[in-house]
Amino acid sequence: MELDPGKPTFEMQTCKVLSVKKENYRVKTFEIDSKIKAKPGQYIMVWVPNVGERPMSLGGTNPIRLSIANIGKFSNAIHELKEGNVLSFRGPLGTSFKLPKPKAETTKHEINETQNSGLGTILLVGGGYGVVPLYFLAKEAKKIGIKSTVIIAARKADDIIYENNFKELGCEVLITTDDGSEGFKGNAVEGVKHLISQGKKFDEAYSCGPEMMMYYLALYCKEKNVPCQVSVERYMKCGINICGACAVDGKLCCSDGPIFTGNKALSFAEFGKVQRDASGKKIEGH
């Protein structure tokens, strides 16, 4: 009689903070001296004793890379950390983004002929700290010869993070801002349409960020028949399929997700519509 082999670890680890870097007025990036095995899209539960425990996306492993927006009591405490301090966490937890399978010879050839790159190109659409897991994904994609085009969507210029990180990986980057203070003026989905109108083709789209952005992207991808995967965030507490706080329709985001295909997410009546707070009470109109 076997226990579920896929069950996530609950071991708490305490590791050194290797570096702290300020990304913008409210986001800091932390590198943590740890060698966990994780896949892009998975998250860890970061614990600050006597403060709390919160889910954070992985921007990479070995060292672990986290980028955290300072918005409340827990993230305040994290922003106090300096190089040489320690950070505790458990994980990795949850499901991951799946990269497209390398193409068969013929398709590879066709793609080369249509001036698309090598094995194929994927589209990454990130908003806010949503770029963090997408950066991890772009690194993994590059390792197997898949190129990434990235849309970094922000409200205004000073919200943009990770532009240089993606560029250093050789990704093509399109910045979109709601107010036009930098890059393309418009939202992320308008940015996607802009790229498509230039004749760009993508094997698959991946997104993490505000839910409405992912919702409209998933709808657009469905219409255009482009496979897509999104990271659905809900209030998460236990992270291990037990407490039920992060329910979206019948599924639990902490363990059935956070990564779902766009079509699966669209099949949830609550995706793009209903979230819940720490008590389980509905917050509508997201």
Ligand X SMILES: Cc1cc2nc3c(=O)[nH]c(=O)nc-3n(C[C@H](O)[C@H](O)[C@H](O)COP(=O)(O)OP(=O)(O)OC[C@H]3O[C@@H](n4cnc5c(N)ncnc54)[C@H](O)[C@@H]3O)c2cc1C
Ligand Y SMILES: Cc1cc2nc3c(=O)[nH]c(=O)nc-3n(C[C@H](O)[C@H](O)[C@H](O)COP(=O)(O)O)c2cc1C
Angle at the Cα of 141 from the Cα atoms of 139 and 146, rounded to 5 degrees? 130
Binder of another protein out of 21, 185, 224, 282 (CB under 8 A): 282
The distance in angstroms from the start CA to the end CA of the chain is: 44
Min CB(225)–ligand X separation in Å: 28
Residue 43: contacted member of ligand X, another protein, ligand Y, none (CB under 5 to 8 Å, by partner type) = ligand X
Sites for ligand X among residues 211-240 (CB under 6 A): 233, 235-236
Sites for ligand Y among residues 237-266 (CB under 6 A): 242-243
Residue 132: contacted member of another protein, ligand Y, ligand X, none (CB under 5 to 8 Å, by partner type) = ligand X
Distances (CA, A) of 61 to 31, 55, 198, 216, 274: 9, 16, 35, 30, 32
User: Which residues in 7-131 belong to E strands, given as ranges?
Assistant: 13-22, 27-32, 43-48, 52-57, 64-69, 86-93, 121-127
R_g over Cα of the chain: 19
Binder of another protein out of 28, 29, 36, 47 (CB under 8 A): 47
Binder of another protein out of 1, 37, 82, 284 (CB under 8 A): 1
Q: From 251, 259, 252, 256, select the one nearest 237 (Cα to Cα).
A: 252
Taking the C-alpha atoms of residue 125 and residue 200, their distance in angstroms, rounded to an integer, is 15
Question: Is residue 169 involved in binding ligand Y (CB under 6 A)?
Answer: no
Binder of ligand X out of 57, 96, 121, 177 (CB under 6 A): 57
Q: Which residues bind another protein (CB under 8 A)?
A: 1, 3-4, 6-7, 10-12, 14, 45, 47, 49-54, 86, 88, 237-238, 240-245, 247, 249-252, 269-270, 276-282
